[in-house]
Amino acid sequence: MAPWLARASSQLARRAARRLLSAPPPSQHRLCPPGPWLLSSAPPVLGTSPLPAAGSGDSRGFCSVRRFTGESSAAAAAAVEEAENGLVAVGGDQAVDFPGGKVSFVAEMNFLPESQKERINCYRVLDDDGRTISGSRFQEVSKELALKMYSEMVTLQVMDTIFFEAQRQGRISFYITSHGEEAINIASAAALTIDDIVLPQYREPGVLLWRGFTLQEFANQCFGNKLDNGKGRQMPIHYGSNRLNYFTVSSPIATQLPHAVGAAYSLKMDKKDACAVTYVGDGGTSEGDFHAALNFAAVMEAPVIFFCRNNGWAISTPTSEQFRSDGAVIRGQAYGMRSIRVDGNDALAVYTAVHAAREMAIKEGRPILVEALTYRVGHHSTSDDSTKYRPVDEIEHWRTARDPISRYRKWVQGNGWWCDADESELRNNVRQELLKAIQVAERMPKPPLAELFTDVYDEIPSNLREQERLLRDTIKKHPADYPADVHI
């Protein structure tokens, strides 16, 4: 039984007992059939007169309201009874101690407005020219960390460009870029530890890159060869790594969010110095799993960070057609969790926000929602042409004037830690390494056909063995319809 319901029941029982003690002698009672009773009264007792009905003098329940103006003993006694009923005085007015906290009563009827007068502010450290904003407070980063963050942002950009070109050449079947969202990927990853569990959406390969996933491993997955962790069963960009605590990408939108809460709660039960981090796009916040996960996390006080990449578009659907709320950040408050809006194109702001969110999540055992405002400069995927629904000049503005890599480079270079020669060397090295990785991945054999049926059951059941036999027979009959490099 809920504590408040148990308390209310106990109060009703005490009131009923007091009334029985003050009732007239039994000889004066009349036997009456039991009548209906309200929650605001005690149930009738067999062999006694019915208790006063509602409106007949005393029908107060555990949520009733009374006001006393004197200091008489009667008023004091009534005040005690009100306290038992869960009522408290607040500045001369009344409030009810309802589940979740005290609620004051007012005489004026007011509806909450559909939105705040002003939008929630966005935390920022660097201006568009890469200079720290006067008075900004942020988590300090060392030269070594700052350069690693910049190098990985450039690596992610180069990797996306080359893999996108490989898809256009027909060498891989599908790809999704993170153009414009490199700061979100790398800076958020830099603020975590390897013990933190990551449940991604699909536009966070930079988090995996930061954790140590090699360019060769990325290429193996995209080409689906025998060294792919997923054994060729997943579409390209559906990365995963047990070694790096990175759950495998799943195509259905937002399904990873409730899973993240469960993972976070398990970390809390085991008293681990770690949290779960899960990513979702603005479109994912329109899914039921988003709301279920936030409520689940808030109630269970799970150490999980919900990171929303609000890039303005859910494929071709703009945020204006998705929701009327002030983005995603306000929803955290609605579910009772701390939230922050951050400039997603500001690497230092993202790093600082996630660093603080992680500390709160673990030390205080609470969920945190981070909304990063950014822009998806690239197409949604290689199956999309975003120029069909977005102005080209809008895309170009975000690609140039608001590019997160260029802004962060200005700050790094302004500190004397970077120069044009370093930039050319880095980009050339990454390009050469990735091209070599692609050549190796292309030549690598595909996983054996039998791997389609493994890793689900300890012993393969008869129905799957029958499916495997039928597949092999079909390939033998129609070999020209199947890739020659698939080992039967």
**Which amino acids are annotated catalytic?**
165, 251, 380-381
Please, are residues 179 and 159 in contact by the beta-carbon 8 Å criterion?
A: no
Please, are residues 185 and 374 in contact by the beta-carbon 8 Å criterion?
A: no
Instruction: Report helix, strand or coil for 378.
Output: coil
Q: Report the helix count and the strand count for the chain, using DSSP H and E.
A: 14, 10
Six token digits for residue 416: 């004397």
Cβ neighbours of residue 85 closer than 8 Å, sequence gap 6 or more:
11, 60, 61, 62, 63, 64
How big, in percent rounded to 5, are the helix, strand and coil portions of the chain?
45, 10, 45
Provide the residue count of the chain.
Answer: 488
Please tell me the distance from the alpha carbon of residue 355 to that of residue 125, in angstroms, as a whole number. 14
Please, where are the H alpha helices in 322-461? 329-334, 347-363, 392-400, 404-414, 420-443
* Angle at 300 (CA atoms; ends 295, 303), nearest 5 degrees: 95
Please tell me the distance from the alpha carbon of residue 218 to that of residue 214, in angstroms, as a whole number. 6
Please tell me the distance from the alpha carbon of residue 356 to that of residue 123, in angstroms, as a whole number. 13
Burial class (CB in 10 A: 0-12, 13-18, 19+), 188: buried
Please tell me the distance from the alpha carbon of residue 178 to that of residue 381, in angstroms, as a whole number. 10
Q: What Å distances lie between residue 224 and 227, 302, 304, CA to CA? A: 8, 36, 32
Please, are residues 297 and 277 in contact by the beta-carbon 8 Å criterion?
A: no
Instruction: Report helix, strand or coil for 104.
Output: strand
CA torsion 5-9-11-14 (nearest 10°) is -160
* Angle at 357 (CA atoms; ends 355, 361), nearest 5 degrees: 120
